[in-house]
Amino acid sequence: MSSPALPAAAPSRDRVDACPGALQTHAAADGGLARVRVPGGTLSAGQLRTLAAAARELGDGYLELTSRGNLQLRGLAPGAETSLGARLADAGLLPSDTHERVRNVLASTLSGRTGDGHLDVRPWVRDLDAGLRADPVLAGLPGRFLATLDDGRGDVAGLGGDVGLLALSPGSVALTLAGTDSGLRPRPGDAVALALAAARAFLAERAAQGSSAWRLAELTDGPARVAARLGEGRVGHHGPLVPVPSAPLTGPVGAAGQLDGRTALIGVVPLGRLTADQADLLARLAAEVQLTPWRSVVVPDLAEDAVDDAAVDLFRTGMVFDEASPWLQVTTCAGRPGCAKSLADVRADATAAVRAGTLPAGGARQHWAGCERRCGRPQGGVVDVVATPAGYRVEED
Ligand code: SF4
C-alpha cells in the first residue's frame, strides 16, 4: 500500500469523549447545548419547523450552524433534552439513540442539482447514514469522526474528513483517509461499503494501538495502516495517488442555476445564528434545504417566478446573498455569555465591527475567539482575533 503516512501524533489515551449530541448535552454557561446531526446537511420543511419550535420553546430561539453542516440548540433548561429528544425523534432527526453522535457526514453542496460534480452523492449520504446506524460496532466511533462525500467538485474533500469518498469520474471514486488519497478505487456502487469498512478499520487500528484517538490522523501512521487493513483481500483495485483538493475558503453564495432549469438560492447566515423565524420562513419556501459547512443555507428547486420574492424575503431577515459582504469573512466562537471561559462577547464585538466597517486586518477572513482555544476556527488561512484581558489580539499569518 502506497498511501502516504501523516506525521505520527501522540496517541490520545483515556480521554472522555464528551462531544455533545441531542441526548448527551453539554452544560454551557447559558444552559444546555445540544448538537443535532444532519447527514449531508439536508433538512425537510417539516424538520425545519420542528427545530424552529424547539429553539423557541426549549432553547434561546436560535439554531447555530456548525462547520460540519450540523445544528446546535443552546440555552436548554435542565431536563429539556427529554422533550427535545422526543420532538427530534418524531421528526426523523434522531433515528438512533446509540449512533446519533457519529452521524457526521458532509456532502457536496448542490450535488445532483448542478453540473459541477461527476455524480450525485445524495444516495451515498442515505446509504452511509443507514450503514453507520446498522452496525453496533460503529456506535463506538468518536463524536468527532467525520465522513466527507465529494461528488468531484472538490468542495468538501479537503475539510478534514477521517474517511472520505471523492468522485474522480462518473465511474471511479477515491477513498480518502484523514484527507489523503488512499489509492483505493471503488466503483461508485461499492464506495459506501468501503467507507464503512474504513470506519471499522479505524476502530480496529485504534484498539490495536491501545489508543483512544478521536481522529484517524491522531493514530500512528493512521491512513497507511487503515488502508493496509482494507487492502487485505477486500479491495483489488488501486490507482495512482491524486492530490485531494483544498477546501474553498467560502462556499457558493447567491443564485445557482440547476440542471432541471430551476434555481437554488444560497444565503449566508451571519455568524451561523439562524433564528427560529428564519427556519420557519425556509420551511415555507422549499420542501427541503441543505446546510453547508460555510454557515449558509441552500434553498433549492425554486421556479423562475419565485426566486426574486424568496431572495427578498430571506434578505429582509438578515441572510446575505452578496459574496463581497464582510459577513462572509467573519466567524466566531460562542463567547460570552454562552461560554464561561470567554473573556468577551465576541459575537457582539464582531457584529459591531462588521456594521461599523472596522474589521481588523483589512477585513481579511478572520475568526474571533473568546480565549486561546479558538473553538470553531475554520480550516485554511484565517486571521485570529483572540480576546485577552487587555482587549483583542490580532494574529495574522
Ligand atoms: S474559544 Fe474559548 S471562549 Fe470561545 S467557545 Fe471555545 S472555550 Fe469558549
Whether residue 227 contacts residue 241, with contact meaning beta carbons closer than 8 Å, is answered with: no
Nearest to 45 by CA among 286, 242, 319: 286
Query: Confidence band (pLDDT; 50, 70, 90) for 238?
Result: confident
- The pLDDT value recorded for residue 232 is 62
pLDDT, averaged across the chain = 93
Nearest to 271 by CA among 333, 359, 341: 333
- The pLDDT value recorded for residue 13 is 44
| Cα dihedral: 163, 130, 63, 358 (round 10) | 20
- Res. 15: pLDDT tops 70: no
- The pLDDT value recorded for residue 8 is 37
Nearest-angstrom CA–CA distance, 218 and 212: 9
- The pLDDT value recorded for residue 10 is 40
Q: Which atom of ligand 1 is nearest to the CA of 387?
A: 3
Mean pLDDT, to the nearest integer, of 300-324?
97
Whether residue 143 contacts residue 102, with contact meaning beta carbons closer than 8 Å, is answered with: yes
- Res. 289: pLDDT tops 50: yes
Instruction: Name the region of 295 (left: φ>0; alpha: ψ -120 to 50; beta: rest).
Output: left
For ligand 1, the distance from its centroid to the CA atom of residue 320, given in whole angstroms, is 26
Strands 172-177 and 163-169: antiparallel
- Res. 236: pLDDT tops 80: no
Mean pLDDT, to the nearest integer, of 250-277?
97
Substitution candidate for ligand 1 out of 375, 382, 384, 392 with most atoms within 8 A of CB: 375
Nearest CA owner, ligand 1 atom 6: 375
pTM to 2 decimal places: 0.93
- Res. 12: pLDDT tops 50: no
- The pLDDT value recorded for residue 1 is 31
Q: What angle do CA 352, 349, 28 make, to 5 degrees?
A: 135
- The pLDDT value recorded for residue 239 is 87
For ligand 1, the distance from its centroid to the CA atom of residue 181, given in whole angstroms, is 33
For ligand 1, the distance from its centroid to the CA atom of residue 26, given in whole angstroms, is 13
Whether residue 266 contacts residue 300, with contact meaning beta carbons closer than 8 Å, is answered with: no
Mean pLDDT, to the nearest integer, of 158-171?
97
Ligand 1 neighbours, Cβ below 6 Å, are 333-335, 339, 341-342, 369-371, 373-375
- The pLDDT value recorded for residue 3 is 35
Query: Confidence band (pLDDT; 50, 70, 90) for 182?
Result: very high
Nearest-angstrom CA–CA distance, 199 and 206: 11
High-pLDDT (> 90) share of the chain, %: 89
Substitution candidate for ligand 1 out of 30, 64, 67, 333 with most atoms within 8 A of CB: 333
For ligand 1, the distance from its centroid to the CA atom of residue 244, given in whole angstroms, is 30
- The pLDDT value recorded for residue 231 is 78
Q: Which atom of ligand 1 is nearest to the CA of 373?
A: 1
Q: Does 248 sit behind a cis peptide bond, omega within 30 degrees of 0 on the bond before it?
A: no
Substitution candidate for ligand 1 out of 371, 374, 384 with most atoms within 8 A of CB: 371
If you search the block for the grid coordinates 472596522, which residue do you land on? 358
The secondary structure of 249-291 as a DSSP string is SS---EEEE-TTS-EEEEEE-GGGEEEHHHHHHHHHH-SEEEE
Substitution candidate for ligand 1 out of 26, 67, 339, 388 with most atoms within 8 A of CB: 339
For ligand 1, the distance from its centroid to the CA atom of residue 52, given in whole angstroms, is 25
Nearest CA owner, ligand 1 atom 2: 371
| pLDDT tens sequence across 329-352 | 999 999 999 999 999 999 999 999
- Res. 84: pLDDT tops 60: yes
- The pLDDT value recorded for residue 7 is 35
Query: Confidence band (pLDDT; 50, 70, 90) for 250?
Result: confident
Measured in degrees and rounded to the nearest 5, phi and psi for residue 296 equal: -125, 170
Distances (CA, A) of 331 to 125, 214, 226: 27, 24, 34
Q: Which atom of ligand 1 is nearest to the CA of 336?
A: 3
Query: Confidence band (pLDDT; 50, 70, 90) for 369?
Result: very high
- Res. 356: pLDDT tops 80: yes
Nearest-angstrom CA–CA distance, 224 and 236: 16
Query: Confidence band (pLDDT; 50, 70, 90) for 64?
Result: very high
- The pLDDT value recorded for residue 5 is 35
Q: What residue ranges define each of the domains in the chain, with the CATH number in brackets? A: 23-93+254-322 (3.90.480.10), 102-238 (3.30.413.10), 328-395 (3.30.413.10)
Measured in degrees and rounded to the nearest 5, phi and psi for residue 91 equal: -90, 5
Q: Which atom of ligand 1 is nearest to the CA of 342?
A: 3
Mean pLDDT, to the nearest integer, of 85-113?
96
Please give the helix or strand (H or E) that residue 366 lies within, else none: strand 366-369
- The pLDDT value recorded for residue 378 is 86
